[in-house]
Amino acid sequence: MKFAVIIPTYNPGNAWLETVDAINAQVVKPDVVLIIDSSSRDDSVTISIDAGFQVKVIKQSLFNHGGTRNMAIDMCPDCEFAVFMTQDAVLVDSGSINNLLAPFSDDNVAAVCGRQLPKKSASLIEAHARLYNYSEGSNVRSILDRDMFGLKTAFLSNSFAAYRVSTLKEVGCFPEGVIFGEDMYVAAKLLEANHKIAYAADTCVYHSHHYSIWQEMKRYFDMGVFHSNESWIREGFGCVEGQGVKFVISELKYLLKHAFWLVPGGLLRTMMRYVGFRFGLICDVMPLYLNRILSMNKGYFK
């Protein structure tokens, strides 16, 4: 089984060493570790080269969530599988990648998503988000499960996911014109083509963010832009809003149990997420300058 580990990077900082060390500690070694770097100004490129990784440096302006990953796949023509990670994801143990690839023993499985655990430094709100979205139980989903799972049937995160390259190419690889969400887009395409998506809870990375309320609103604005442009996903798998209500109720219960004094801030954050998402849905009728202000991915709006 030949496989590549592919990671887009841009100024990952001191935390990059931890990610690099965890990759090199894996019991199953990738045939290639390919870093696509968007002209970082820190020393991460040197660290990657010293670690034995293959590095491709591109202009920051050329980075594209889908297109850059497609380019990386083309650079690994002999690999049957592609493992994607983000620069801030750290493999939990030496068997993480081996366990991520295990579900491919089923020929019908086209992609596998691993579990994300909150980092020790994560806030309770961020910890809840990881615990809610990444359960302890593994599953394999097909298009027939969308009535049960709704939009989460197509849930997949390139922070830690693997793809069968031949099947990925069968559905056209990643889209090149999305603001983000290239992973959900592909998952939905794979499911509609009657392939299966696996969630492997026994393989984990530490991955969480320290988003401010403003940053989180911008992230949800981008989510709204994605679902506005790719409305076929909501039509085929269900609305985001339904999942959002379940998430808010779960978060409220979690905070009441663990830190009730955080509830007001949590509710404010929820309101700003919703505002961001709703503005994202109507981005087509909003002025360009306002879209740029509200977006986390400003380069998308040109």
pLDDT in tens, 15-59: 999 999 999 999 999 999 999 999 999 999 999 999 999 999 999
What is the average per-residue pLDDT within 210-226?
94
Contact 186, 156 (CB under 8 A): yes
Whether 242 shows a pLDDT value over 70: the answer reads no
Task: Domain ranges for the chain, please list them.
Answer: 3-206, 213-300
What is the average per-residue pLDDT within 104-113?
97
pLDDT band, residue 241 (cuts 50/70/90): low
Whether 245 shows a pLDDT value over 90: the answer reads no
Distance CA(3)–CA(79), nearest Å, equals 5
Distance CA(276)–CA(297), nearest Å, equals 13
Per the listing, tokens 């709704």 go with 150
Distance CA(159)–CA(254), nearest Å, equals 24
Would you list the DSSP string of 113-178? EEEEE--TT--HHHHHHHHHHS-SS-EEE-GGGHHHHGGGGG---TTEEEEEHHHHHHTTSS-SS-
pLDDT attached to residue 210:
86
Contact 116, 131 (CB under 8 A): no
Residue 185: phi and psi, rounded to 5, are: -55, -50
What share of the chain has pLDDT > 70, as a percent?
99
Residue 281: phi and psi, rounded to 5, are: -65, -25
Classify domain 3-206 at the CATH topology level.
Spore Coat Polysaccharide Biosynthesis Protein SpsA; Chain A (3.90.550)
What share of the chain has pLDDT > 90, as a percent?
87
What is the average per-residue pLDDT within 209-213?
90
What is the average per-residue pLDDT within 274-280?
95
Residues paired with residue 161 on neighbouring β-strands, in sequence order: 84, 113
Give the N- to C-terminal CA distance of the chain in Å, as an integer.
41
For the CA atoms of 45, 47, 52, 54, the dihedral, rounded to the nearest 10 degrees, stands at -10
Report the chain's mean pLDDT, rounded to a whole number: 94
